[in-house]
Amino acid sequence: MPLRPVAAALLTATALAFGNTAPVSATPTTAPTYASATAPTATADAAGNGLYQQVTGFGANPGNLAMYTYTPAGLPTGAPLVVALHGCLQSATDYYRNSGWTKYADLYGFAVVFPQTNSTNNSLSCFSWFDATKDTRGAGEAESVVEMLAKAKSLFGSDSHRVFVTGLSAGGGMAADLLADYPELFAGGAIDSGLPAHCATTQSAASSCQNSDQGLAPAQWGDRVRSAHPGYAGPWPRVAIWQGSADTVVKPVNATELRDQWTNAQGIGQRPTGTRNLPGGTNQELYAGPDGRPTVALFTVPGMGHGLAVSPGSGADQCGATGSYFLNAICSSYYTAQFWGLDGGTGPTSPGLPAPAGLTATASGQDSITLDWQAVGGAVSYQVFRDGALVGTTAGPSFTDTGLATGTAYSYTVAAVDTTGTVGARSAAVTATTGGAAPQCFTDTNYGQVRAGRATQTGGLTYALGSGQSMGLWTTFVTHTLKQTGPGYFVLSDGQC
């Protein structure tokens, strides 16, 4: 069965119905034309706090984009610079008005560049994150954005070491591509409801990225970043990832793939070194390097559909305005700015108590494993994670995990919880194998796996029975290995059996 067409990019008119708020409009808005200039002119923004205007003549423009900028009043030279990319069926002015970035530009002191694409480039005014002729180093829209950066630096005297890029949806996909294409230009990035860097290189492949697990290992995702600028050895930008758990336009698996991609590029593991709860139940996971400084952050907003998380209000951590794909949940711009260190800090450190030491794991039967570790001062409880997922909480430094499959290896980490409920850094992982016979492995085509009852098919796609892992198209041309780890439960194990 052919993949669902994506109507020239990421969003369709039907997809626009998803989210926490109904769309205000089903057609792209057009940014107002201010006095065109090669340098900023004294045109006040709507709030009277700074200047919002179009900048023309910014250099080569192979991507046919427009450049808009916002500069706070009295912006000094040497200030940071943020590039903010709108989503499909949006404009630069929509993002300027609704995203909340201008509030923190005023508060923290930085300039913002708002690139704008158009319906000539794409029928839905989407940035072309999926087109290898437009989103690669030195080409198309990516090159146009880099030309805007050079222009903005010359106009505002921006600090070349503090340039950041963020984007929503298709703009998020383009932001990820830019971080991979030009890692030497960006200190950090944020991908909001977006896609991994260079997930697709053609329009026909875009729908698969948008809707399903691509089945790539972290190293393969990291290779997509490394191959975008061959020979570059770092440092890599710090990356914030925002995803709504109820997003049906860009499925939440994209956030997992982004996490895998950028932790691998950074040379760190895929297990968080710290977690915390934010307003609205948003969960933040931090991934730190050996120096303890987080370089990747994953924010999951429960119940939020497709859009940019905003939180209208006057509080320090409130920003933006609701509208089409600007959803009332939490001010993502505030927490992203903090993660980048735009508030004057160096960015977050792993919160909470230190990681428990001395973790051991021993099989205590055919279906159970017992864990022990050293107690952490100040801990009121401990969380236990099996293969990255929380499986239990205990008051003391031991735990027995039961109901496991026989002859199966499991990986564990533990974290201490303090009196405020903050979950601290996770321990180093240990692995143990339950007793009994080893699980069976089955290699067959997706068609054969379904016929044998080890997988199911829905809408022409195949999913492992029990685990629900995506296996791709239901066809005799795609082959996978499934490992049975329990009655009626199979997991993808290509190259592992």
Q: Which residues are catalytic?
A: 169
Residues near 314 by beta carbon (within 8 Å), at least 6 away in sequence: none
Contact 117, 126 (CB under 8 A): yes
Distances (CA, A) of 114 to 66, 93, 128, 167: 8, 8, 16, 10
CA 4 to chain centre: 23
Which backbone phi and psi does 153 adopt, to 5 degrees?
-60, -40
CA pair distance 189, 299, nearest whole angstrom = 14
Strands 461-464 and 455-458: antiparallel
H-run or E-run covering 265: helix 253-266
Instruction: Give the strand pairing for 326-328 and 308-310.
Output: parallel
- Token pair of 285 as six digits: 């996971």
Rounded distance between C-alpha atoms, residue 313 and residue 291, angstroms: 36
Residue by residue, DSSP assigns 273-310 as SEEEE-GGG-EEEEEE-TTS-EEEEEEEETT--SSEEE
Identify which of 426, 471, 428 has the alpha carbon closest to the alpha carbon of residue 447: 471
165 in the Ramachandran plot: left (φ > 0), alpha (ψ -120 to 50) or beta? beta
